[in-house]
Amino acid sequence: MLDFWKTSARLGDRLGILSAAFNPPTLAHLEMARSAAPLDEVLFLLPRAFPHKPYTGAGFEDRLDMLSAALADQPQFSIGSTDGGLFIEIARECRPVYGPAADFFFLCGRDAAERIVNWDYSGDIPFGEQLREFQMLVAPRSGPYLPPPALADRIHRLDLPRGLEACSSSAVRDSIAQGRDWRHLVPVPVAELIHRRHLYDPRP
């Protein structure tokens, strides 16, 4: 079931879906969504459960609060949550809400694209068939992503501004744990919330 925590002012037929762990949301997440500007809306989507890892670090509610803080002044972005974690599950939860004419574009980085395309879908719909229900926009991360030729018409490049290679959620968590500067990697409201709630602080 798709639940909305913030609704965009730009609902339309071309929906970008940025489904991630947001542990925490970073400036790279925001720039990825901004770079998909030709789309009518970008939905920041936090699954209630992940197919490849458990919840660690910040919990579900903390991550929703960080997303809300990061996107409070961004009317073109929505925030939602779903029960499913796989792209095909998410697309099918979004379909009744956005209608049969909507085109879905999942936004992700190269590393995520490689994991998703090569995931073991045995017993489920083959990934090539899943792409009939959505497309992908993939941002380069430590190099561009080259999709398999059979999938290239449904997986597209998403160009980002320079200087975001080192901007990741894991870099934020590692920097906090090691006492290094990290605030430049996240939106200011997110940094304030992390500091106020002592998120990712290794000290007891």
Which tokens go with 178? 């090691």
Tell me if 174 is assigned to some domain: no
**Which pLDDT does position 201 carry in this prediction?**
85
Residue range 37-48, pLDDT digits in tens: 789 999 999 999
The H-assigned helical ranges of the chain are 27-35, 60-71, 87-98, 110-117, 127-130, 169-177, 188-197
Domain containing residue 33: CATH number: 3.40.50.620
Q: What is the pLDDT of residue 52?
A: 75
Q: What range does the domain containing 42 cover? A: 3-162
pLDDT tens profile 154-201 = 999 999 888 887 899 999 999 999 999 999 999 999 999 999 999 998
In a domain, 168, yes or no: no
Does residue 87 sit within a domain? yes
pLDDT above 90 (res 35): yes
Confidence (pTM):
0.93
Q: Which pLDDT score is estimated for 136?
A: 98
In the predicted model, what is the mean pLDDT of the chain? 92
Using the CB atoms, write b or e for 54-83: b if 16+ within 10 Å.
Answer: eeebbeeebbbbbbbbbbeebebbbbbbbe
Number of domains forming the structure of the chain: 1
Q: What is the pLDDT of residue 51?
A: 79
Determine, yes or no, domain membership for 188: no
Assess whether pLDDT exceeds 60 at residue 121.
yes
Report which residue type is found at 87. F
| Contact of 67 with 44, CB cutoff 8 Å | yes
Domain annotation covers residue 175: no
pLDDT score of 204 = 55
10 pLDDT tier (thresholds 50, 70, 90): low
89-119: per-residue pLDDT in tens? 999 999 999 999 999 999 999 999 999 999 8
User: Is 181 inside any structural domain?
Assistant: no
The answer to the question of residue 62 being in a domain is yes
How large a percentage of the chain has pLDDT more than 70?
A: 98
pLDDT digits (tens, 9 = 90+) for 135-154: 999 998 878 899 999 999 99
Written as one letter, the residue type at 143 is G
Domain assignment of residue 176, yes or no: no
